[in-house]
């Protein structure tokens, strides 16, 4: 029986959210247990995707469940993108912020699954958006980076002034 942990969500502007994650070399029980705990934490917070830096872990791994199955991805890479789609996205690490993000409509993604096998999948719809969002996290990119610069400045100063009060 795996030891499932209930992680707490790391929120902006924590440093780890801006880092490039470490590639996973060996898929072992430790990685599998982190993935299961991430999935648990994602469901508990009503998310459809979660990347390791969002729970303070610097591994190149993410989980997604946007309604068409569970994806536990290790070292994911996008091989191909098709079409564009604009949707309003939220992020567990940026509570109460919604950003309009332009992403590929369809993607082909390659990753290692929790048994250490290389998997290639063609994805579309919300799952494709969620996977792109999580892969952004693994390179330190956040949805606010898609905002025009003047809006980014106002979000930055608003969060800064809030943290002074708290
Ligand atoms: Zn996010």
Structure confidence by residue, pLDDT tens digits, 79-126 = 999 999 999 999 999 998 999 999 999 999 999 999 999 999 999 999
Q: What residues have a C-beta under 5 A from ligand 1, the ion?
A: 91
- Residue extents of the structural domains in the chain: 15-165
From the list 128, 131, 148, 165, the residue with the least C-alpha distance to 63 is 131
**Is 89 among the residues known to form the active site?**
no
**The whole model's pTM is what?**
0.91
Q: With cut-offs at 50, 70 and 90, classify the pLDDT of residue 148.
A: confident
Q: Which fold has domain 15-165?
A: Peptide Deformylase (3.90.45)
Spacing, Cα 42 to ligand 1 middle (Å): 11
Spacing, Cα 107 to ligand 1 middle (Å): 18
Structure confidence by residue, pLDDT tens digits, 12-36 = 999 999 999 999 999 999 999 999 9
Residue 158 has pLDDT above 90, yes or no: no
């Amino acid at each position: 029986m795996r030891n499932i942990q209930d992680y707490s969500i790391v929120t902006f502007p924590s440093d780890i959210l801006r880092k490039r994650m470490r590639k996973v070399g060996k898929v072992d029980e430790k990685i599998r247990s982190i993935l299961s705990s991430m999935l648990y934490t994602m469901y508990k917070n009503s998310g459809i995707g979660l990347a390791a830096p969002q729970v303070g872990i610097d591994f190149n791994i993410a989980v997604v469940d946007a309604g068409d199955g569970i994806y536990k991805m290790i070292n994911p890479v996008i091989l191909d993108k098709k079409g564009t789609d604009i949707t309003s996205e939220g992020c567990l690490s940026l509570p109460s912020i919604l950003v309009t993000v332009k992403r590929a409509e369809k993607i082909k993604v390659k990753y290692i699954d929790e048994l250490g096998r290389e998997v290639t999948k063609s994805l579309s719809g919300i799952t494709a958006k969620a996977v792109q969002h999580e892969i952004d996290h693994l390179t330190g990119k956040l949805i606010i980076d898609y905002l025009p610069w003047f809006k980014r400045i106002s979000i930055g100063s608003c969060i800064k002034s809030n943290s002074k009060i708290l």
